[in-house]
Structure 1
Amino acid sequence: MRSVPTLDDLDRHLLALLQENSRTTNQALAAELGVAPSTCLARIKALRAAKVIQRFTVDVDPQALGQGIQALISVRLRPGARHMMEPFSEELKKVPEISQFFFLGGADDFLIHVLGRDTDHIRQFVLEHLSSNPVVGDTQTNLVFDHVRGPVGT
């Protein structure tokens, strides 16, 4: 397990501003924080080096890409297939419909966030990538009606 640095109030405020808009200029961030631009830039570099900031990204509306439906699919592997968790995880990384997935502790082994054109696309995804996979014991599909993101760690 990696060591996580202690964040002060300035770091937390900086992270909140970047989460709101990661394209905000260093000058604007420094002004909002009340620090010199060099201090702000040094903080960002330190947060990146410590892997607190893992990447800068763009949040794209899935509907703009023709992906009008989202689903969360819970997956349980067969009891005798626990040794296949890592290979199964590697397979999931290659599937374009998967937005993200989580390896879980608890009743389910994985939670997969899938983007699709419509319900038929989601159904086909489950059939092709999950139900036909011999390591998969059970799936449960939940359609997402709305996806709301909140601030993280503020």
Structure 2
Amino acid sequence: MLDRIDFELLRLLRKNARLPNKTLAEKAGIAPSTALERVRRLHESRAIQGYHAEVAPPAIGIGLQAMVAVRLARHSRALVDSFHRHLLGLKEVLAFYHLAGADDFLVHVGVRDSHHLREFALTAFTEREEVAHIQTQLIFDFRRNTELPVYRDPD
């Protein structure tokens, strides 16, 4: 179980995963050796699943982002798993969510421009037999919240 110090380490790393261990320890009010051991345990327990770099979309040629809501024609484990694998293989897919409700997937895509989006939507979604409907919404701005919502009391 995670305690108050673990939550603080997670909060600090969520804001800046590149904090040196010494700084992390100082901000959490613990010894550097304790911080190192606790972060190692957070990795082992899968409380920390990894780190990533937040990349500016224009720096890599992404000029347009969109959310595509996808509704499948039929629902079976095989079709859902197949579509999941399909999404993982598309370089334009930045993230996706498998949903309950009217839509089955919400797919965050990054493309060069509106022409690229149109072609991508046609080939990646509408030409697939299992897809019944898509709805595309353009993203004007995206910000990741670095605050960590904690809904458990520390042990």
Using structure 2 for the length normalisation, give the TM-score: 0.91
Partner of 1:70: 65
Partner of 2:153: none
Partner of 1:153: 149
Matches of 1:70 and 1:152 in 2, distance apart? 25
RMSD between aligned residues: 1.4
Matches of 2:131 and 2:78 in 1, distance apart? 12
Contact 1:68 1:115 in 2 (8 A): yes
User: Of residues 45, 52, 76 in structure 1, which corresponds to 2:40?
Assistant: 45
Matches of 1:153 and 1:46 in 2, distance apart? 20
Using structure 1 for the length normalisation, give the TM-score: 0.91
Choose between structure 1 and 2 for higher RCO, CA contacts under 8 A separated by at least 6 residues: 2
**Correspondences of 1:106-121 after superposition (within 5 Å):** 106-121=101-116
**Correspondences of 1:1-154 after superposition (within 5 Å):** 6-79=1-74, 83-150=78-145, 151-153=147-149
Q: Unpaired runs of 5+ in structure 2?
A: 151-155
Following superposition, the deviation at residue 152 of structure 1 comes to 2.6
Matches of 1:141 and 1:82 in 2, distance apart? 25
Following superposition, the deviation at residue 138 of structure 1 comes to 0.3
Following superposition, the deviation at residue 15 of structure 1 comes to 1.0
Following superposition, the deviation at residue 32 of structure 1 comes to 0.8
Matches of 1:153 and 1:80 in 2, distance apart? 33
Matches of 1:89 and 1:132 in 2, distance apart? 16
Assess, with a 3 A threshold, how the Cα gap between structure 1 residues 15 and 80 changes in structure 2: closer, same or farther: closer
Matches of 1:95 and 1:134 in 2, distance apart? 17
Letter in 2 for 1:140: Q
Matches of 1:42 and 1:86 in 2, distance apart? 37
Matches of 1:118 and 1:16 in 2, distance apart? 36
SS at match of 2:138: strand
